[in-house]
Copies of this chain bind each other. A is one copy, B any other.
Amino acid sequence: MIQAYAPASIGNFAAGFDILGAAVADVEDPLRLGDIVTIEPAEQTSFEAMGPYAGSLPGDPGDNLVVRARDRIAAVLRANGAELPPHHLVLQKRLPLNSGLGSSAASIVAGLLAVNAFAGEPLDEAALYRMAGELEGTFSGGVHYDNTGPSLLGGLLVIAPAGPPCPLPFPDELRMIVVHPDLELSTAASRAALPREFPRARVVEFAQNLALFVHALHVGDRALLERSLRDPLAEPHRAPLVQGFEQVKRAALDRGALGCSLSGSGPSVFAVAEQGGARAVRDAMVAAFARAGVRADGYVCVLDAGARLV
């Protein structure tokens, strides 16, 4: 039996809409925030979804991203004159859908990794990376690597238009606080909230802020990191879709977070804080959601190392 784990991820990581993404692991339970896919030989090929969020998945297994991932690898094998042996494929759907936590990316990546291993590794890492982005594109309406990339490779990544993504250094003593409110917001709806065009001054502000964020991480300038850990592009348009967001952000910053923004397209929210204050930031964010009438779960996280066989 082969079992693959792929972590949750924060896409649109603050300064980097469609460009920066981070894989995360709950410090208290490193495999909690991710999906698991299992594959083992069987007499007949079958697929099964289980886990807390299996009930939210599409009813037709053919629409499941893990099945589509499996079919892609089977097609690669067939093109080489080989055949994927009959198997039993299981998705443990542990990440909530439409949460902004890279749930679809985690299913895709765990599926690709497990099936690729089962098939004798016909695909190398670069091919898995491309295939994961393409599968994400069929789901979210555009090829984006800022969730699939980190979920596969781990760390905080700058996605590159050609070639592999670039890992950014990230201070060991910082934590990411991920808070998932009990709200649903589809990626498509959240993308629709964005304007199609942006004024020149906003374009410059966005790019400048991103450049300073990357620079701050490389030189270890905490004050500059704090100033640039923000999203001037998408957040102003998307935040109104997330009930309580402004209060939650205010609560995080008041507790000393360096920054706070939407995770991916929302509704999850993430903050970055020093290790020592991370729990207090998490609790303040969950409490602020509660005051806005929204139940939420909060996690103190580090960067995850990326998808792996477990």
Give the interface of A toward B (CB within 8 A).
16-20, 158-163, 166, 168, 194-200, 203-215, 218-219, 221, 224, 227, 233
In the complex, A205 Cα to B162 Cα: how many Å? 11
**Given contact pairs A194-B200, A200-B197, A210 touches B207 in the complex (Cβ within 8 A):** yes
The residue that A199 contacts in the complex, of B18, B197, B219, with Cβ under 8 A, is B197
| Shortest Cβ distance from A165 into B: residue | B212
The smallest C-beta distance from A88 to any residue of chain B, in angstroms, reads: 41
In the complex, A10 Cα to B195 Cα: how many Å? 32
Q: Is the CB of B162 within 8 A of A212?
A: no
Contacts of A227 in B (CB 8 A): 160, 162-163
| Shortest Cβ distance from A228 into B: residue | B160
Q: Is the CB of B212 within 8 A of A160?
A: yes
Between A197, A198, A208, A224, the greatest number of chain B beta carbons within 10 A of the residue's beta carbon is seen for A208
Q: How many copies does the complex hold?
A: 2
- Interface contacts beyond A159-B208, A218-B219: sample of 12 additional A-B pairs, CB < 8 Å, sorted by A: A19-B208, A158-B211, A158-B215, A160-B224, A160-B227, A163-B224, A194-B200, A197-B197, A198-B200, A203-B207, A203-B233, A210-B211
In the complex, A207 Cα to B211 Cα: how many Å? 8
In the complex, A17 Cα to B18 Cα: how many Å? 20
In the complex, A208 Cα to B159 Cα: how many Å? 8
In the complex, A161 Cα to B211 Cα: how many Å? 12
Q: Is the CB of B198 within 8 A of A203?
A: yes
The smallest C-beta distance from A197 to any residue of chain B, in angstroms, reads: 4
- Can you list 11 A-B pairs, Cβ within 8 angstroms, ordered by A? A18-B208, A160-B224, A194-B200, A196-B200, A197-B197, A197-B198, A197-B200, A198-B198, A198-B200, A203-B207, A211-B213
In the complex, A218 Cα to B214 Cα: how many Å? 9
Contacts of A19 in B (CB 8 A): 204, 207-208, 211
Q: Is the CB of A196 within 8 A of B199?
A: yes
The residue that A161 contacts in the complex, of B163, B198, B205, with Cβ under 8 A, is B205
Between A16, A159, A213, A215, the greatest number of chain B beta carbons within 10 A of the residue's beta carbon is seen for A215
In the complex, A166 Cα to B296 Cα: how many Å? 39
**Given contact pairs A196-B199, A200-B197, A166 touches B210 in the complex (Cβ within 8 A):** no
Contacts of A207 in B (CB 8 A): 16-17, 19, 203, 206-207, 210-211
Between A16, A18, A194, the greatest number of chain B beta carbons within 10 A of the residue's beta carbon is seen for A18
Contacts of A198 in B (CB 8 A): 197-198, 200, 203
In the complex, A224 Cα to B162 Cα: how many Å? 10
In the complex, A221 Cα to B215 Cα: how many Å? 15
